[in-house]
């Protein structure tokens, strides 16, 4: 395991050949944030393969693996640490992002979200679901498989502080929620 392993969001990718990769948001210390990538053997043993650290991954909350090396990650704030985070949360400022990492470089693919939180892909990876905690909204994006760009196709106001999102085998969404954001 990486030193100072403090896991947060996770995503499991299963390749066509059955090989499994687990990606985990990690908050190891201070304002440092990483994505840890593990190989998961047939007998369920995790082997740490690599650590991804990038200036665009500033406050990761959740990760959605799309290959053994590539992923989308939500930043729930626009900067590490507490400076400015409280005011951004109080005023539901649309300042957070979704970042795509291709295995080597990262880029912002969605911005101006009010506390991007959970992220998941549809079973066929044609759609990406992002929960926006402070806007109390689920955003649905079409994913371009070649460029990995995300195009908004729908949004659903859920009237509650939406947290993590998972996709069931039948395609239904399971979404954690905080009905009273003040108690969060």
Q: Residue 167 has which token pair?
A: 């996709």
Q: Indicate the SS3 state at residue 76.
A: coil
Bigger pLDDT: 26 vs 181? 26
Of these residues, 8, 27, 48, 178, which one is catalytic?
A: 8
Q: What angle do CA 1, 100, 52 make, to 5 degrees?
A: 25
Q: What is the pTM of this model?
A: 0.90
Q: Residue 155 has which token pair?
A: 């949004």
Q: Is 27 a catalytic residue?
A: no
| pLDDT score, position 87 | 47
| pLDDT score, position 38 | 97
pLDDT in tens, 88-100: 555 556 778 999 9
Which residues are CB-contacts of 171 (< 8 A; sequence separation ≥ 6)? Answer: 122, 123
Residue 86 Cα distances to 18, 55, 99, angstroms: 43, 21, 22
């Amino acid at each position: 395991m990486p030193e100072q392993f403090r896991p947060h969001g996770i995503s499991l990718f299963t390749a066509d050949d059955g090989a499994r990769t687990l990606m985990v948001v990690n908050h190891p210390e201070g304002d440092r944030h990483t994505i840890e990538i593990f190989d998961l053997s047939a007998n369920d043993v995790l082997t740490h393969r690599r650590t991804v650290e990038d200036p665009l991954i500033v406050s990761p909350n959740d990760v959605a693996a799309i290959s053994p090396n590539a992923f989308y990650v939500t930043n729930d704030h626009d900067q590490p640490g507490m400076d400015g985070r409280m005011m951004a949360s109080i005023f539901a400022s649309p300042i957070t992002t979704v970042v795509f990492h291709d295995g080597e470089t990262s880029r912002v693919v969605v911005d101006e979200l009010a506390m991007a939180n959970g992220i998941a892909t549809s079973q066929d990876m044609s759609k990406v679901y992002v929960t926006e905690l402070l806007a109390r909204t689920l955003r649905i994006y079409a994913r371009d498989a070649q460029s990995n760009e995300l195009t908004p196709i729908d949004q659903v106001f859920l009237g509650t502080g939406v947290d993590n999102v998972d996709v069931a085998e039948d395609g239904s969404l399971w979404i954690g929620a905080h009905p009273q954001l003040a108690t969060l």
